[in-house]
Structures are given as C-alpha cells and as structure tokens.
Structure 1
Amino acid sequence: MGRVASSVDNALIESFWSIMQRELLDRTSWDSKTQLASAMFEWIEGFYTPRRRHSALDYLSPADYEALHTTAEIAA
C-alpha cells in the first residue's frame, strides 16, 4: 500500500469520496438511509459519471468525448 502505481493504492477512491463529501454529503441532510442511497446514486449516475470533465479527455465530459468520437466514426 502506498507505492506509486500499486494496484492496491486507494488514492483514486479517496479522491472520489472527497469530491462526493464536498459536493453532496456536506450540503444536505437526509431523513433515511434510503433517501441518502438514492441521492448518492443520482449524484454518481446523473452528474459525476457522465458530465464531469476529465483532463485525460482534453477537459471534455465522458459523454461529450464519446459523442465526439462516435460522430467522427460515422463521418469516416
């Protein structure tokens, strides 16, 4: 643990939880675990996964990057 490029390094998931904590969990309170689970699912699937821009994708969201390359393949 803690070595660079280690398959068991948890820096990626720690970064993910940190972002979720800042952007979702610290801003709202829920009455039940079911509401919390639903809010987490909506945040991950509705915002974090398809719309968050990534430096590895030239600062495009995964959805935009995929659309760009799908359009390029169809045109070719």
Structure 2
Amino acid sequence: MADSFFKTMKTEIVYLHKFATIAEAKMTVFEYIEGLYNRERRHSAPGYLTPCQYDLATN
C-alpha cells in the first residue's frame, strides 16, 4: 500500500515540479497529503471512502 502511495505522489507532484528549495518541496508534499490525498481521494481498501471519512466512521 505504501509503495502505491509513493508512486502516485511522485507521478502527480514530484516529477511535475522543479522545486527551488527543500522547504518548498516539503510544503508541496504536505499540501498534497493533507489537502488532496487525505481529504478528497477515495481508496478501495476502506470501502471507497477518503481517509478522513474512514477515520470519522471508525471512531
């Protein structure tokens, strides 16, 4: 599962940008994970819920 995540992140973010600084790269990756991946992207393993929706349903 982790390999799939990193492949997706690299394809959608890392390979498409040329970062000026490490801080810029870190912020972009953080925004991708917190803004898109955890809140909007649905995943098949938890029944096609977003990670945030899954957390709310299980807690």
Task: Decide: shared fold, TM above 0.5.
Answer: yes
Segments of structure 1 that go 5 or more residues without pairing to the other structure are 1-11, 70-76
Number of aligned residues? 57
Once superposed, which parts of structure 1, at least 4 consecutive aligned residues long, lie more than 6 Å away?
Answer: none
Q: Which runs of 5+ in 2 are unaligned?
A: none
TM-score, normalised by the number of residues in structure 2: 0.76
Superposed CA RMSD in Å reads: 1.9
With a CA cutoff of 8 Å and minimum separation of 6, indicate the structure with the bigger relative contact order.
Answer: 2
What is the TM-score with the length of structure 1 in the denominator?
A: 0.61
| 1:25-69 CA-partner distances (Å, limit 9, x unpaired) | 111111000000000000000001111101134323234554xx5
Structure 1 or 2, whichever has the larger Rg, is 1
CA distance in 1, matches of 2:45, 2:33: 19
